[in-house]
C-alpha cells in the first residue's frame, strides 16, 4: 500500500546579483543551472500531494465488483457476530427504536427503551399514551418532543390502519410517521428477514471512501451499491459496513493502521497509519469496550463482545 511522501523539496541556491554581474563571456555555461534547476523542482512537488489511490488505473466494473465483494467477505470474518445494534424483541419494538435512533447513538436508545416498552408494550398502549409522560421517558434520546410525536403517531397508524401489526412491506412502512426508507429496511431486514440496504451515515461514508459509488443521496447510494452484491447479502452487508464504520473507519480519525481491509481501500492514509497509534482509536469491543446493546445476541457474547451498561451506570 502506498504511503504519503514528504513534499519538502529544498530549492537550490543560485548566485547572487553580484556574481551574475561578474560573469564573463568565458563562462556562459554557469547560466545553465538558472534555466534547468527550476524545471527539476516542478515534478518533485507534484506527487507530494497525491493520495494513496492517486495514479491508479481506472477501475473496471468487473474489478469494482470483485473488490467490493472481497471487502464484504473480509469484514464478515472480522465481524462474524455483526447484528443490528438496537435491542428489540418484536417488529414493533424495532420500528420504534429505529425511529428514536435518529441523531443519537444506538446505545442511548437501548438505555432508554426498556422503560418505554415496560410502560407501553403494544402499539395500542403507546397510541393512547400521555405525550408529556412519553417525553420524559425519551428525554435522554434528544429531540424528545419530535420523537414522542413520531412514535405515538406511528402507533396510532398501526392501530388504525394495520390492526396493531407492523406491516412487512416497504410501501406500507414508509407511510408511518417518522419512518423513511432507512428505517423501513432496518425493520424489513431484521424483523422480517427481507433483504434491504441500510444507508445510514456510516454506510454513506464508507462506501464513498471505498469508491463503490460517487452518489451522495441515500436512495441513489442504495441503488448503486445494491448492484454490486446479490440481494441475499444486502442485510448482512449493511451490518458489516456499519460495524466497521463505528469501530475502525471513523469519520474524523479513521484507524487506517489497524484496518483489516487496508490493502483494498483507496482512501488508506486519510487516517492514522501507525499501528500502535491506530489501535488507540478503536472503539467498542475491538478497543476493549462494550458494544451498543444491553441484550446482544448470544453469538456476539460467544465471540467476546460485552453488553452495554444500563442507563445511569458508570
> Are 303 and 81 spatial neighbours (Cβ–Cβ below 8 Å)?
yes
| Residue 74: band (very low, low, confident or very high) from pLDDT cuts 50, 70, 90 | very high
| Residue 32: band (very low, low, confident or very high) from pLDDT cuts 50, 70, 90 | very low
Query: pTM of the prediction?
Result: 0.79
The pLDDT tens digits for 111-166 are 999 999 999 999 999 999 999 999 999 999 999 999 999 999 999 999 999 999 99
Mean pLDDT (the chain, rounded): 85
Neighbour count for residue 313 (Cβ, 10 Å): 7
Distance of alpha carbon 253 from alpha carbon 248, whole angstroms:
9
| Residues belonging to the active site | 182, 200
| Predicted confidence (pLDDT) at residue 29 exceeds the cutoff of 70 | no
| Predicted confidence (pLDDT) at residue 50 exceeds the cutoff of 60 | no
Task: Identify the pLDDT of residue 44.
Answer: 33
Distance of alpha carbon 260 from alpha carbon 248, whole angstroms:
9
Evaluated on CA atoms 279, 283, 289, 291, the torsion sign reads: negative
| Predicted confidence (pLDDT) at residue 26 exceeds the cutoff of 50 | no
Task: Identify the pLDDT of residue 193.
Answer: 94
> Average pLDDT of 1-17?
39
Amino acid at each position: 500500500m502506498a504511503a504519503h511522501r514528504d513534499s519538502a523539496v529544498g530549492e537550490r541556491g543560485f548566485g547572487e546579483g553580484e556574481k551574475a554581474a561578474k560573469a564573463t563571456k568565458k563562462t556562459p555555461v554557469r547560466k545553465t543551472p538558472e534555466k534547468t534547476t527550476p524545471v527539476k523542482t516542478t515534478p518533485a512537488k507534484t506527487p507530494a500531494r497525491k493520495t494513496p489511490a492517486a495514479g491508479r488505473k481506472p477501475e473496471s466494473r468487473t474489478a469494482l465488483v470483485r473488490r467490493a465483494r472481497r471487502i464484504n467477505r473480509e469484514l464478515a470474518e472480522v465481524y462474524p457476530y455483526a447484528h443490528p445494534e438496537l435491542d428489540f424483541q418484536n417488529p414493533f419494538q424495532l420500528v420504534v427504536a429505529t425511529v428514536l435512533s435518529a441523531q443519537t447513538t444506538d446505545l442511548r436508545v437501548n438505555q432508554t427503551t426498556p422503560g418505554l416498552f415496560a410502560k407501553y408494550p403494544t402499539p395500542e398502549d403507546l397510541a393512547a399514551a400521555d405525550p408529556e409522560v412519553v417525553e420524559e421517558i425519551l428525554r435522554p434520546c434528544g429531540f424528545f418532543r419530535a420523537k414522542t410525536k413520531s412514535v405515538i403517531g406511528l402507533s396510532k397508524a398501526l392501530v388504525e390502519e394495520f390492526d396493531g401489526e407492523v406491516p412487512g412491506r416497504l410501501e406500507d412502512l414508509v407511510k408511518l410517521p417518522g419512518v423513511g426508507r432507512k428505517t423501513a429496511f432496518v425493520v424489513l431486514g431484521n424483523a422480517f428477514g427481507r433483504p434491504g440496504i441500510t444507508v445510514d451515515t456510516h454506510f454513506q461514508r464508507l462506501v464513498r471512501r471505498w469508491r463503490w459509488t460517487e452518489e451522495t443521496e441515500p436512495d441513489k447510494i442504495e441503488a448503486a451499491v445494491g448492484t454490486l452484491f446479490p440481494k441475499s447479502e444486502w442485510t448482512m452487508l449493511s451490518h458489516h459496513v456499519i460495524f466497521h464504520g463505528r469501530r475502525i473507519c471513523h469519520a474524523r480519525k479513521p484507524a487506517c493502521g489497524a484496518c483489516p481491509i487496508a490493502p483494498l481501500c483507496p482512501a488508506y492514509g486519510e487516517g492514522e497509519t501507525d499501528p500502535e497509534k491506530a489501535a488507540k482509536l478503536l472503539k467498542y469491543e475491538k478497543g476493549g469496550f462494550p458494544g451498543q446493546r444491553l441484550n446482544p445476541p448470544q453469538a456476539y457474547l460467544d465471540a467476546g463482545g460485552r453488553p452495554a451498561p444500563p442507563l445511569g451506570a458508570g
